[in-house]
């Protein structure tokens, strides 16, 4: 699960093109199997590469959460 504010998707490169939600989703998909810290780092590395020397004018907020699943065949599913 990812929580973002518009600072990432609206970050612009030197020509004024925005980073965009599609690019963020593509990076997240390409790194889904990694730890939350590694996913965050992949996004930040790609964002830095994208914006180049352009100054960031907005805050950059990204929260990455992952749930650990445990497999236990002795657990019964109960609906209440």
Please name which of 20, 1, 22, 17 lies closest in space to residue 9, comparing C-alpha atoms: 20
Predicted TM-score (pTM) of the model is 0.76
- Domain-embedded: residue 73: no
**DSSP string covering 6-67, please?**
HHHHT-B-TTS-B--HHHHHHHHHHTTTS-HHHHHHHHHHHHHHHHTTPPP-S---EEE--P
- Cα separation of 79 and 61, whole Å? 37
Interval 32-73: pLDDT, tens: 899 999 999 999 999 999 999 888 878 888 888 888 777 665
Place of tokens 């929260």: 63
Domain with 43, as residue range(s), is: 2-64
Give the number of domains in the chain.
1
- Domain-embedded: residue 71: no
Enter the DSSP assignment of 79.
-
């Amino acid at each position: 699960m990812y929580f973002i504010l518009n600072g990432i998707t609206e970050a612009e490169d030197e020509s004024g093109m925005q980073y965009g939600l599609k690019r963020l989703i593509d990076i997240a998909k390409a790194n889904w199997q990694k730890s939350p810290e590694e996913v965050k780092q992949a996004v930040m590395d790609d964002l830095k590469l994208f914006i180049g020397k352009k100054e960031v004018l907005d805050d950059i907020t990204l929260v990455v959460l992952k749930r650990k699943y445990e497999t236990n065949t002795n657990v019964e599913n109960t609906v209440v």
